[in-house]
Structure 1
Amino acid sequence: MGHPDVVVAGAGVVGAACAEALSRAGLRVVVLDRGAPASGTTAAGEGNVLVSDKEPGPELLLAQASRRRWPELLAELREELGPGRAEAEWDPKGGLVVATTDDSVLPLREFAAAQREAGVRAEPIGLDEAASLEPRLTKALTAAIHYPEDAQLQPVLAATTLLAAVKARGGQVRSGVEALGVLRAGNGAVRAIRTSHGAIACAAVVNACGPWAGAFAKACGAPIAVLPRRGMVLVTAPLPPGTVRHKVYDADYVGAVASGDADLQTSTVVESTRAGTVLIGSSRQRAGFDETVRFDVLRELARKAAALFPVLANVPVMRAYGGFRPYAPDHLPVIGEDPRLPGLWHVTGHEGAGIGLAAATGQLVAELFTGQESTVDATPFRVGRPAVAEEVRA
């Protein structure tokens, strides 16, 4: 294919979405990953495509755009690749957020009211209706909000489908190739990416390294404040269909997502998969890249899940897994070209929302790269904002 126009470092779902959108725009794209595609943060995700957990603001706007884009994009890829190569288990099943204490009722209702003002379908429902939507849910509820727009997909399938489109258009996906930095031209702009297999000449590099994006940015000479934040998930044995019908979480989940606290936090999240297993989360902790399995965390997740769905109390757990999510101090993704290094683009910092935000993120990167009017205002996500790169100003 000759020299690519763009090299995307990172073959997770965000990197794959960027590569797909750039190749759709006619650019020659190579995607690199030091491991296998979608084997890092994406493989440790639950596949959530959510609007329910985001307060009004830039991230919610990106989430709404992505919720619109995902089903369109998957339909387009099925048409282009054929249904056998474009399956992502898309499930628009909706979500249910519940309060289990009296103190949680007012904050939950106020949060939902603010979301409705921003165009989210956040529908207060009675406890009888909540029981109708989720018959196995605990009766000890104090309030419930139904979010019909919440959806789920299988994240590894979604990423590999996006990458299949890149390859079908003449691009390349290279596994086992680590991105080490960039080489600069005489004018200071990117002229190549340095890898463990040698340099690849290109006009631009997309840093989609997820939790490792900060380290890659530093190696490029353009550091950004992106840190790993670890989460763990339990997976039950398959259960009868309809045991858990929606994504269900306790109202404290929203606070855990928005918190910048480095200490361990857990909140109750329960949802099923097409295979019948139930995913139980969630935890958040900033502890570097420590992969130690903490059984106290797993016990806490299991205890809270059984309190929300008593039927789970005696269900065997098949496995547990953890993953690192890319965390930015102001809780916003980092999307755009680095003003210090022309040709270096950062696309990271989505933390646990990368799967849901990926479709709109890829579209936004392609629009910015080709000079089109952007679907979503990119200004809040700029690389040079103080929380991400203190020495840079947009």
Structure 2
Amino acid sequence: MSGGARRLAILAGGGGVPREIADSAAARGIPVSIVAIDGEADADFSAYPLTRVNWGQIGAMLRAMKRARATELVIVGRVHRPELKGLKPDLGLFRYLPKIIRIVAAGGDDSVLRRVVRFFEQQGLRVVSPGEAAPELVVREGPLGSARSGAPDRADIALGYGLVRALGPYDIGQSVIVRAGRIEAVEGAEGTDRMIARAAKRRATSDSATSTLGGVLVKRSKPAQDMRVDMPVIGPATVDGAKSAGLSGIAVEAGRVLVADRRLTASRADGAAVFVEGVADSGPETPQDAPPRRFDPRVVSMPFRCLTRATPERHAVFDAIKAIAVLDALDRFDVGRAAVVVRNHVLAVEAGGEGVEATLARAAGLRQWASLTHRRRGIAALRSMGDLTPAVIERVASAGYAGIAISDAAASETALPETIRDANARGIVVILRADRNAAS
């Protein structure tokens, strides 16, 4: 598909950023064509050659890009993880089915999206980041509007950056909410906007009147994140959410986050007295040219004792290792009573006093990339044996997870026999980490 002058194809999801990128490229004289995902893309693309496709129409996607003689591809916009039952496959899907299965089976967002990039590059396209295609959308260092952060905010920003760095290897936590040195929320598979809404709801029902005031949304790329796909984005809706949650401001990693509708975002921020700033992260970081520092549970030695009649399958052990490693990473931030991992994908972590049951209920409404099996999948890891209650067993069973892993290696394996009987009755695995230092 490559050769000759630059020609840009945009594989567009939801939101206004795909249209902004198209307008930016067209203004610089680069021909643009749009391949819009049905049910996702919602911007007005009437000014550009447009092909609408279902997630399952891989052949139609590639034909549209070939017809447009595209040399470069931007993959951008809000998407929901596709359900297999909603796919409308064409012959292209079946032709590339082995590759598609490997992509879906990769687990976490970073792994899936890297394989998506590799797939399109194998078709002769150069996948470029949204920031490369439209540099003016990138947030630079400094304030976006008139409001500024104060010293307490900057301390919270530094803490938030540290948490995102710590969680980066586990492919989770692109955004966090920090207030007065305390982590209130960590983004899971639900995305930034839903995390902010969740924090706003909890603040609104808090007994403390001051809990609704202040705090910072901190958003940055994960260490070694491939910026060609899933580049972090903020926009007017982010500001609206921050205002509803009573936050003082939004801090994003300068040079590595996009802003949608910059003027409106700045105007909304000024109207809400919410600061929006690009902030450089001066903390330790994986060099950009270094191999990704991604956690691989398959190479970690972490022995377990099984407390139930049912024993864990291999995939459940790997999910347990990753979930407990996430809790270990959160330990120094004094947060994280529970983590849910399904098929190597971290769906949710507990933070800010949310509680184990609420975290499990939230995770049950989230999902990873489409599973190709109906077997029980996933592990809920608990920091303490004290959180292993009948209600937690019920939550895990109803969510269809394989079982529960307890991080506290000092716990007695004879603790809570009634709860273990509940787990046996439901066919739920309960395993206990045997050595606290095994993953170090």
Taking structure 2 as the reference length, the TM-score comes to: 0.28
Q: Which has the higher contact order (CA 8 A, sep 6+)?
A: 1
Rg: which structure is higher?
2
Higher relative strand content: 1
TM-score, structure 1 as length reference: 0.31
